Amino acid sequence: MSAGSGQASGDRFSVIVPTWNEERCLPVLLSKIECDPSVSEIIVADNSSSDDTARIALDFNCRLVAGGLPAAGRNAGARAAAEEIFLFIDADVAVTPEILDALRNEFKIRETTLVYFRMIPISDRLYIKTAYKSADIYARLTGLLGTSQGPASLICVRRSAFAAVGGFDETVSAAEDVDFIRRVGRQVGGVRYVRATSLYVSARRFDIEDGFTYSLKCVIWGLLRGLGFRTSLIPYTWKQYSA
């Protein structure tokens, strides 16, 4: 994949995937996106994984850069990216052709600076579905109030908007995605929350933490970001997920 071939640069994405021990999920994600004509390059920002994550990235001809926690990894990937549109994807996201089609359509609009999607958990558990439904309501309400923000496992943003807000704030240890979307919305504008096309995501975090406790953490982090605070009270830690 090269930045100079195929479509015009405005139609092509530099995909950035922050990772830590993602040997189970990463091959599935990469196999779904590597052949899409809009994907110019895939950059894996790895946080010193102890499994085969780095080898898998190289096997798929990805660029491999040193990462860190999610905010640091995304920023590192952005510094290495060639295209004018950055597509940040978590390793456990199910990226479908419909998602990529929706992104292409959204970025045909000059005013669009950032796009994120309604997330649907890959789970039958009611409390998990309720948690994600609450996140959807939160994103819709903040959009209506003119302060777009919400959690996102996939964020697509123009380089210019990313640079205008200084990228992800690496001092924010949790809900850095909420903070980033909020700052782009306030400082640049043009944020689009897409509900017509759903993004399916794993609910694996609920498998390694008590569901109520994790939901409460997310509420606290979301409220703090909504109020503009950098503190998290409860720090985020990158967990080792089970098979």
Among the listed ranges 1-15, 74-88, 163-177, which one has the minimum average pLDDT value? 1-15
Domains of the chain and CATH, by start: 9-226 (3.90.550.10)
Helix, strand, coil shares of the chain, percent, nearest 5, are 40, 20, 40
Sign of CA dihedral 99, 111, 13, 152: negative
Q: What is the pTM of this model?
A: 0.87
Question: pLDDT of 8-20, one tens digit each?
Answer: 445 899 999 999 9
Where does residue 120 rank: exposed (0-12), middle (13-18), buried (19+ CB within 10 A)? middle
Question: pLDDT of 189-204, one tens digit each?
Answer: 999 999 999 999 988 7
